[in-house]
A and B are shown apart, each in its own frame.
Chain A
Amino acid sequence: MKRIALIGMPNTGKSTLFNRMTGGSARVGNWPGITVELLSGKILLGGDMVEIIDLPGIYDLHGYSDDEQVVRHFLHDNVPDLTLVILNATQIERQMSLLLQLKQLNMNIVVLLNMSDEAKKFGITIDCAKMAEMLGLPIFLLTGKYGMGYQEAMHAITNALRYRTPGMAEELRSQLEQDEHIEREMARLMKHAVQVPSRLPDNLTERLDKLMLHPLLGLPIFFAIMYLLFQGIFLFGQPMQIGIAAGFGWLHDSVLAPTLTGLPTPLQGLLLDGIYNGVGTVAAFVPIIVLFFLFMAIIEDSGYLSRAAFLMDALMAKLGLDGRGFVMLLMGFGCNVPALMGTRVMRSRAMRLLTMLVIPFSLCSARLQVFVFITAALFSPQAAPLVLFSLYLFSFGAAILTALLFKNKFKNSEPFVLELPPYRFPTLRQMWLRGWHEVTHFLRRATQFIIAGVVLVWLLTHIPFSAVPASSDTLSGMIGDWLHPLFAPIGITPELTIALIFGFVAKEIVIGSLAVIYGLSGNALGGALAHQLDWVQAYSFMLFTLIYTPCLSTIATLKSESKDNAFMLFSIFWSLGLAWLLSLLFYQGARFLGY
């Protein structure tokens, strides 16, 4: 009896076609040379009974996965009279390789291009005649669902079976023997040099997972680890940041300022307060980024990141995110910039963008400084912690709201299937390389953008040069006045508006800018604010500060990580809009209630 073998990559509709050809008469059978059972069916074709065998779907004829070996062994020991090669027409460019590999074996082949109707929908046009001519093989288009082209194909198959290909079997065998040689060599090496137990012993990973992924203890342990990480970054990072700031200050006062005294005052100001401070702002991020990625490397290389994803996924899936996004969101509470860079662990672009849209709402340490100062000035010591806590709630709320609103816009198509690697000790070298690599990446991408932004704000707050810097006579003051109709409904005064413009650069300089605007500092500034604002205004200002764009470095990172200016602008405008709306709701609501 003549044999027809069906070969194709997985998901080509091979099994559907097999069922159609055999009409459900298939049986499971054993074949020489292979240990797995294959489906086969006997049908009447052109007056003769022929047997059709459904071979496992494979990607590569010369590969060494189980299925690939099965197909090779079958072909070697049961040379088919005809091979039907089924290709998925929608993935023709990826599937062609298998056909060419089979063609090289000089087998008797008929090619079936399945799912041609779907391919047409994708705009893929395939010139069948041209392809058949170039390959020297008969090719037929099939539509798997509706059975179009089936009769023609069967006719061609019947014809093709009539003509024997002389010497085919011998040639095929000798070609396949090379792969068999490699298989034997592999088996010999594995047998003598490698031992894999059928069931893994209760090893360290298994025991650690029992604790780390415990149904009750897993989440508390996760939060404890996150807390330690967080504390660790700031415990080590802040002194370094202060040290770098001091170094830059010293360089400014004792070297740069004296050497530049000859220059005109505006130019001096631009160079020192504009560009130099911009460089300083960028440099201040360096220790935090190094530490963040050092710790992230530990978390990731140790294998814990995918465990964290496992623990948090139930919640995050509802927000259109996955468990890894939660880790980044938490990291954002330290600093948004490395958290945004950390989203690179996600493969799906849509999910990455959604996570990057959410992270800037994390109340970072720079914003915390602003809030601590203002709550201390305007709220009683009893109320202050509650106020801070409520801001954290708003931070989470804005993140959740944003994710829920936009999860359909950034629809994640990637299935959430992750390997849980065994726990490993990360190497020091790996950690340093990672931290260093990320810092250079950040510096290269963000420096110009940030310096340009800092210079722009400096110009806004100093032009015209005759005016008192940051006063209402400067450009920024004019913008503040001009924006007043927009900010009055949310209780923000023109002075505070100027501070918000500064805050666009970095939240660390918000309080500093208020000091310049009011000409006061420390407790005196606090007193002035308390005198001028009531608590509703102050809270509205803090809400706005919390939710609108975190800082220029975050924007620069959003831009460089997404490589999409439209996305960056979208993020800026969405956060500005949301900040304004929430502040409006709060301010008008509180006023309405009589506060």
Chain B
Amino acid sequence: MPANTLASLHIGETATIVSIHAEEALHQRLLALGFRTGKQIELIRKASFSGPLQVRIGTTDIMLRRTEAAKIKVSKP
């Protein structure tokens, strides 16, 4: 299984969260927004000029910076 991160997904791709390697504050925030191991996550779009990403977990749309997305390991189906 190749080690992909959320930041390396292409627009429109769906993947499964494998693990989250984030510091405490970010981890808590991600958990509260529904980032959990085993959840499906879809990359909706990327902002211009290396701006943040828009992702979707279930029915929730979330934006996060690419540096933070790189801390989330995902596996493509």
CB-CB < 8 A to A422: which residues of B?
61
Q: Which residues of A from 17 to 71 have beta carbons under 8 Å from B?
A: 36, 56, 66-67
B38 touches A36 (CB 8 A): yes
**Residue interface mask B39-77, A partner, CB < 8 A = 1:** 000001101111110100001111111001000000000
The SS class assigned to the B binding surface is mixed
**Residue interface mask B20-36, A partner, CB < 8 A = 1:** 00101111111101001
B52 touches A218 (CB 8 A): no
Knowing A10-B27, A10-B31, A11-B24, the reply to whether A418 touches B49 (Cβ < 8 A) is no
B65 touches A313 (CB 8 A): yes
Closest chain-A Cβ to B7's Cβ sits at a distance in Å of 13
Knowing A66-B36, A67-B36, the reply to whether A313 touches B62 (Cβ < 8 A) is no
B61 touches A317 (CB 8 A): no
Q: Which residues of A from 412 to 430 have beta carbons under 8 Å from B?
A: 413-422
| CA–CA, A213 and B52, complex, Å | 11
**Residue interface mask A206-231, B partner, CB < 8 A = 1:** 00010001011011000000000000
| CA–CA, A8 and B48, complex, Å | 40
Closest chain-A Cβ to B6's Cβ sits at a distance in Å of 12
| CA–CA, A422 and B61, complex, Å | 8
| CA–CA, A66 and B31, complex, Å | 12
Between A317, A417, A420, A421, the greatest number of chain B beta carbons within 10 A of the residue's beta carbon is seen for A417
What's the interface size class on B, roughly?
A: 20 to 34
Closest chain-B Cβ to A219's Cβ sits at a distance in Å of 7
| CA–CA, A66 and B47, complex, Å | 31
A310 touches B26 (CB 8 A): no
Q: Which of A56, A66, A311, A417 contacts B62 (CB 8 A)?
A: A417
Closest chain-A Cβ to B25's Cβ sits at a distance in Å of 6
Closest chain-B Cβ to A577's Cβ sits at a distance in Å of 33
B62 touches A419 (CB 8 A): yes
Q: Which of B24, B26, B49 contacts A417 (CB 8 A)?
A: B26
CB-CB < 8 A to A66: which residues of B?
36
| CA–CA, A231 and B62, complex, Å | 31
Knowing A11-B24, A67-B36, A419-B62, the reply to whether A218 touches B29 (Cβ < 8 A) is no
B59 touches A200 (CB 8 A): yes
Please give me the residue from chain A that is nearest to B35 by CB atom. A417
CB-CB < 8 A to A413: which residues of B?
25
CB-CB < 8 A to A309: which residues of B?
63
Knowing A66-B36, A196-B59, A414-B25, the reply to whether A311 touches B47 (Cβ < 8 A) is yes
Closest chain-A Cβ to B1's Cβ sits at a distance in Å of 13
Listed in ascending order, the chain B residues whose CB lies under 8 Å from chain A are 22, 24-31, 33, 36-38, 44-45, 47-52, 54, 59-65, 68
Known contacts A205-B61, A213-B45, A314-B51; 10 further A-B pairs (Cβ under 8 A): A310-B52, A313-B47, A313-B65, A314-B52, A415-B65, A416-B52, A416-B68, A419-B63, A420-B61, A422-B61
Sample of 19 A–B contacts (CB below 8 Å): A196-B59, A200-B59, A209-B54, A213-B45, A213-B47, A215-B45, A309-B63, A310-B63, A313-B47, A314-B47, A314-B48, A414-B25, A415-B29, A417-B33, A417-B64, A417-B65, A419-B62, A420-B61, A420-B62
Interchain residue pairs A-B with the least CB separation, the first 4: A314-B51, A314-B49, A415-B26, A420-B61
